[in-house]
Amino acid sequence: MKKNIAVIRGDGIGPEIVNEAIKVLDAVAKKYGHTFEYTDADMGGCAIDKYGDPLPQHELDKCLNADSVLLGAVGGPKWDSVPGNMRPEKGLLRIRAGMGVYSNNRPAKIWPQLADASPLKPEIVEKGIDFIIVRELIGGIYFGEHRTFEDGERVSEDVMRYSESEIERIGRIGFETARKRRKKLCSVEKSNVLDTSRLWKSVIHRLAEEYPDVELSDMLVDNCAMQIVKNPAQFDVIVTENMFGDILSDEASMITGSIGMIPSSSLGAGSNGLYEPIHGSAPDIAGTDAANPIGTILSAAMMLRFSFDMPREADDIEEAVGKVLSGGFRTGDIMQSGMKKVKCSEMGSLIAQAVSEI
């Protein structure tokens, strides 16, 4: 099978971790007779430096014309002084809107080899951490009107807006995802305060009538933040709006031991998705070959599974990651006593080799 992958290497450690994901994808292609072609696209700080724009239309077009998109990371202190509407992160919002990817799926799963790295008590970890946060991605307060004005003093406001149709389409993703797992869906909102959350809750409960096989529960976002660290085993699938999902998914990643291990997928109505690790560009270690590429490598596995319908190949990558971790190899962020510390490039090579041997 032949696929064209748009590659956004981005800023900071982005180029390093993307290179290792490509190394693993090439191992998969060689093993199964696929052809993966890569088209480089600029986004973020590097695009600002090159074009004066965090995501020019011609670079977005490369992504729209690809079969899927692999993203490293964008941003860094170098671009802190640029106007707000031109910050590197604006490229992220623009590509999500341009691709129409409204559902961001972030698994929170602890690898047994890294159980000791979790900040949670062992008795909590032993119960298991394996859930997915389904986050609405192109609506809500991030995409509402933003303005700052004078009214005797400076005043700023940001508008959170959701329509029934936006809630329904992400709700269906939540129910369908739960249906493929343990059939439990927790809808997270703030309906005791926000009108948007009251609408959210109403739509989700209406949808639940179509999914009688899925157990639906409701939880306020502040309680959910506490429950994720108190009893993560209770969760299977969490569905929530954009800002809440942004915060909760970052929290969930940390209880698994390292933010460097977590992949994510962003999908819309078609198969062209955006795949990226959930961590940032880590400019403090950029160029040192010290980054953890596993989140990006697992994002590539999600691409194979969800966009390319290659479940066997995705399984191979995930099995290879487990094999390398069981072999005692660790990057600095997941280093444990008695393990062997390796560089970013070494970790990528080890996983690629393991793919070939499985």
Is 190 a residue of the active site?
yes
Q: Helix, strand or coil for residue 239?
A: strand
Q: Which two tokens stand for residue 188?
A: 């997270």
3-state secondary structure of 233: helix
Catalytic site residue 162?
Answer: no
Label residues 116-135 b or e (16+ Cβ within 10 Å = b). Answer: ebbebeeebbeeebebbbbb
> Catalytic residue at 250?
yes
Active-site pick, 236, 246, 316, 333:
246
CA distance 351 to 24: 7
- C-beta separation of 91 from 54 below 8 A: yes
Which pair of structure tokens corresponds to residue 36? 């993966």
Q: Are 285 and 44 in contact (CB under 8 A)?
A: no
Say if CB 79 and CB 45 are below 8 A apart: yes
Among 306, 232, 204, 308, smallest CA distance to 264 is for 306
Catalytic option among 142, 162, 211, 275:
142
For residues 104 and 27, the answer to whether their CB atoms sit within 8 Å is: no
Among candidate residues 78, 184, 190, 341, the one labeled active-site is 190
List the catalytic residue out of 116, 158, 195, 222: 222
Task: Report, as residue numbers or ranges, the catalytic residues.
Answer: 142, 190, 222, 246, 250
